Amino acid sequence: MGMKWLGRPREKLLRRLVFSAKERCDCGAGLAYDRRARDTAWDCSAILLGDALLVAGERGVADHRVPCSFFEVLSERSPAADGATTRPVTAV
């Protein structure tokens, strides 16, 4: 994890991200988008948070979905989600 993501900047980004209710990337992280982004598209939250290893050939690298604008992805903010979220659990 890069030093720039430690502490408050990461917490602010986590609050700003909207996560999917159930849909996950192939790597296991929930899909999310940034509310402040000009063009919103669902993307792997591990990529958005800087947690993903993206260098080809590196151990532990998982295949990640291409960002998408699928309308069938249910947001955690939707009443139909009934409280479901793919948001990572944060330590207290």
Tell if the pTM clears 0.85, that is, is over it: no
From 70, 14, 79, select the one nearest 46 (Cα to Cα): 14
The mean pLDDT of 28-47, rounded to a whole number, is 87
Tally the residues of the chain.
92
Q: How far apart are CA 52 and CA 44, in angstroms?
A: 9
The mean pLDDT of 56-72, rounded to a whole number, is 61
Asked whether the predicted pLDDT for residue 92 surpasses 60, the reply is no
Asked whether the predicted pLDDT for residue 87 surpasses 70, the reply is yes
pLDDT of residue 1: 45
pLDDT of residue 32: 92
pLDDT of residue 49: 86
